[in-house]
Amino acid sequence: MLYRKILKPFFFKMDPEKAHHLVIDGLSMAGKVPGGLSVMNGMYGVKPSAELKVKLLDMEFMHPIGLAAGLDKNGVATDGFSNIGFAFVEAGTVTPKPQPGNEQPRLFRLPPDEALINRMGFNNYGAEEMAKALQRRKNRSIPVAVNIGKNKITANELAYEDYRSCIRTLYDHGDFFVVNISSPNTQGLRDLQHGNELHNLLVHVCEEMEIQADQRQAKIKPIFVKIAPDMSDDQLEHTVQTIKDSNINGIIATNTTLSREGLSHPNQGETGGLSGVPLRERSTEVIRSVYKLTEGKLPIIGSGGIFTAQDAYDKIRAGASMVEVYTALIYKGPALLQELTSGLKECMRKDGFSNIMEAIGADHK
């Protein structure tokens, strides 16, 4: 109520990127103020529930809903997000070297469509600064994923060096990692999703992950690949097969879309990746296809257009082990997590499931 009646109208009168920074800075500051995190947890925290608990790749999650990459690009607000109900946080996208991203304005709201368009361009402080931020974490109760990418000036044939560099710098600070090859806002990045380029990149990524684990005499941390929603059926099949043939642990489906189908707001003409409700059906279709192509053997994190518990549940039944939100948090505020988790319980109870993991891929059974 506080967000929807007071804070949202205030934020929506501001430039979207300024509002974004204000939220991240506020969450970051809350972690530094004595008692700040406890207050946030008391207002918005989600109580653990055996019904929603997820075990995946030797990790435990109190429920299946996490924060997608793009909101906390530098990992400075993970403590804040940990205390408003998220089961995991995907920080990033981070690149080896700091970069300013694309020219402003580069973030646009489409309120009637419940959507956002961004062309941020991997603006971030660099891997070294993210490592420092994650080292300062006070709340380590939930897993943090580190989403890694390449610098804009790095040629695709040398992209693997950037991904390896990020892994080396951040290996100790992430519980799992996400290879971002699907943002539409870095020229040529999506070319890395296909053919030999994808194969070669994943060989290097898996090799670096193994090197880092061996140095620590520990088990290799999980790594996911984030794919785009705009591939043809043939492209998706080839991409998934390449991922299957590697040592990658899972897939995140999907990133933002270039499609503008069904939009009504004038900002639809802005270039960049579209997120929010218009992406909902397509991302679920991709999840369903990936689940079939992998025979349900490769974990999927579903992302795209999740605004209600039914949206999340549809993705889980389509094959997602967990899901992520971003745009809905902007439109609905931090009470979203309580709404989604309570709604998921109702959905699964109607289907006769005692634990949410029983619903994974239920549409295929």
- Give the pLDDT confidence of 220-246 residue by residue, as tens digits: 999 999 999 999 999 999 999 999 999
Q: Which helix (H) or strand (E) holds 269?
A: none
For residues 106-135, average pLDDT: 97
Greater model confidence, 182 or 279: 279
Cβ atoms of 221 and 174 within 8 Å: the answer is: yes
Q: What is the pLDDT of residues 77-101, one digit of tens each?
A: 999 999 899 999 999 999 999 999 9
Active-site residue, from 28, 82, 165, 183: 183
What pLDDT is stored for residue 1 in this prediction? 64
Long-range contacts, stretch 104-109, CB < 8 angstroms, 24+ apart: 104/17, 105/15, 105/16, 105/17, 106/17, 106/272, 107/16, 107/17, 107/20, 108/16, 108/267, 108/270, 108/272, 109/12, 109/16, 109/265, 109/267, 109/330
For residues 259-280, average pLDDT: 96
pTM of the model: 0.95
User: 250-253 and 273-276 as β-strands: parallel, antiparallel, unpaired?
Assistant: unpaired
49 is catalytic: no
pLDDT at 27: 86
Beta-strand runs (E) in the chain: 54-56, 59-61, 65-67, 88-94, 107-110, 115-118, 144-148, 176-180, 223-227, 250-253, 273-276, 300-303, 322-325
What domains, with CATH codes, occur in the chain? 2-364 (3.20.20.70)
Mean pLDDT of 14-19: 95
The residue whose two tokens read 């967000």 is 3
